Structure 1
Amino acid sequence: SEGRGTMLAAIAVALALWAGCAHAARSDGHTEEVKYVSYGSVVKLQHVKSGYRLHSHEVAYGSGSGQQSVTATPREDDHGSFWVVKAADAEEEPEQGTPIPCGSRIRLEHLLTKKNLHSHDHASPYGSYEVSAYGNDGLGDSGDDFELLCYPDSSVWQRFATVSLRHIATNRFLQANQKSVYGQPIQGQIEVSATPKKSGNTQWKTNEGIYYVERD
């Protein structure tokens, strides 16, 4: 919607001004330490093993689906690494600031291009399964849905805690591989793909971003 687009644009400007910060926002304008990830938060997902951040950009795959590519970047200050955390298939989006229960079905919308993190059965450039950014203005399909798996078990998604994301349609896990390095035009970034097996490569945690807390 137009209102939602305006809100995301304002968030993008704010993040551009202080991309390295981790911030907790309250509806009354105050800030505070926040311990969980909530719906509506704008986050960077950091790959635990490599330290790289989940990233996208207006660069299409030259093979497979030809959709917008998703990678992981070593740059901490890259604005293309922010993702909006949303509920999957919700008739009404949960109230901003609501903690996300572990086991939830979620979507991650790329802040700058408004496409959702997505996967399917296309092969990835390095031989796993492709992960792309798909859709328009946050709208997509069931290939955008991921299950949030928390380690250790927790009732809600904790900031900085290790999680995995299981792609529901294919039963595969979001991974990054530091050995699969791209050349130009995205030199130094590594492949993000989907795999049927959990490993150290399928572990992620939240880092920088804007984190909303529940209203009093």
Structure 2
Amino acid sequence: MRGLFQKAITVISIVIGLAYATEFNEQDIFQTIEDLPVTCSSALRIKNERTGFFLHSSELNYGSGSGQQIVTAFQGDNDYNSLWSVKEHDGDDAVPCRTGVKVKCGQHLRLEHMNTGRNLHSHSAFQSPVSGRQEVSAFGNGGDGDGGDNFIIECERDDIAGYVYGKTKFFLKHKDTGLYLYTDANSKYTHQNCRNCPIVGYGEISCIRNRAFNGGLWKVHSGFFFPDVEANETPFRDEEEEDY
């Protein structure tokens, strides 16, 4: 996985060069992303539709609660700490999420934080520090974790043959507790609730029971996309990756 990710760095420079050398502009690139299927092993920046902030983590731990790695909502749209890799769910019944296979609406999956190798995680035992809702953290080591890492991707509308695309708006339901990944503009880390901490200005990520709240709706913004292998079953295509 990490070897393929490093290979994608080379692709970045090529794509950026093409953007300057051709008529491609930002609007063209985002339209391309809208039409791309989300595939296994792709590394995605996931944007909250209500706040415009991104699902984010880094090597900082909660000072209370679980003490696990902090997950936040971050405003910048080009930070590598906002990249999450799509992979199969944890459990004895898990089917490998083969690189380049399209993700389906309703699929059980995990999101691994690319820079730290820890999985998006939640649990009912701890409250989030700002709002007191269910805590969300990043957990595990080298991509290994437990069942608390499993989420279900629920599409707002099943409009493209049951698959998740760049244009798809979706909810992330925590499998163990049935709560939904959430953020809002009112639950931020400030000097009052997080004095002298490095995440002042970031939003809190938590889980809530009712997905009807707009802060639970997400969408892919950008990232590194593996092509759909089922549409491109040729040798050497499995390890090609597109960056947008």
TM-score, normalised via structure 2 length = 0.76
Q: 1:197 aligns with which of 210, 219, 225?
A: 210
Separation in structure 2 between the aligned mates of residue 107 and residue 192 of structure 1, nearest angstrom:
16
Give the corresponding residue for 2:170: 163
* 1:57-72 equivalence runs, <5 A: 57-72=58-73
> 2:120·2:139 contact (CA, 8 Å) conserved in 1?
yes
Give the corresponding residue for 2:88: 87
Q: 2:106 aligns with which of 100, 103, 118?
A: 103
- Point out where structure 1 has 5 or more consecutive residues left out of the alignment: 21-32
Give the corresponding residue for 1:151: 156
Asked if residue 187 in structure 1 is aligned to residue 200 in structure 2, the reply is yes
Q: Secondary structure at the residue paired with 2:224?
A: strand
Tell me the number of residue pairs that the alignment of Structure 1 and Structure 2 aligns.
201
Separation in structure 1 between the aligned mates of residue 74 and residue 66 of structure 2, nearest angstrom:
21
Separation in structure 1 between the aligned mates of residue 12 and residue 67 of structure 2, nearest angstrom:
28
Q: Secondary structure at the residue paired with 1:70?
A: strand
Residue type matched to 1:151 in 2? E
Residue type matched to 1:181 in 2? K
Residue type matched to 1:132 in 2? S
Separation in structure 2 between the aligned mates of residue 179 and residue 171 of structure 1, nearest angstrom:
23
Separation in structure 2 between the aligned mates of residue 17 and residue 73 of structure 1, nearest angstrom:
25
Q: How much does 1:188 deviate? A: 1.2
Give the corresponding residue for 1:74: 75
CA deviations over 1:21-52 (Å, ceiling 9, x no partner): xxxxxxxxxxxx45210111110000000100
**For residues 14 and 115 of structure 1, do their structure 2 counterparts lie closer, same or farther at Cα, with a shift above 3 Å needed?**
farther
Q: How much does 1:158 deviate? A: 1.5
CA deviations over 1:160-210 (Å, ceiling 9, x no partner): 321000000011000012111113311211000011111101000001101
Separation in structure 2 between the aligned mates of residue 17 and residue 81 of structure 1, nearest angstrom:
19
Specify which structure has the bigger relative contact order, considering alpha-carbon pairs within 8 angstroms and separated by 6 or more residues.
Answer: 1
**For residues 14 and 164 of structure 1, do their structure 2 counterparts lie closer, same or farther at Cα, with a shift above 3 Å needed?**
farther
Separation in structure 1 between the aligned mates of residue 141 and residue 123 of structure 2, nearest angstrom:
17
Greater helix fraction, Structure 1 or Structure 2? 2
**For residues 15 and 46 of structure 1, do their structure 2 counterparts lie closer, same or farther at Cα, with a shift above 3 Å needed?**
farther
Give the corresponding residue for 1:207: 221
Cα RMSD for the two superposed structures: 2.3
Q: How much does 1:10 deviate? A: 4.4
**Bigger radius of gyration, 1 or 2?**
2
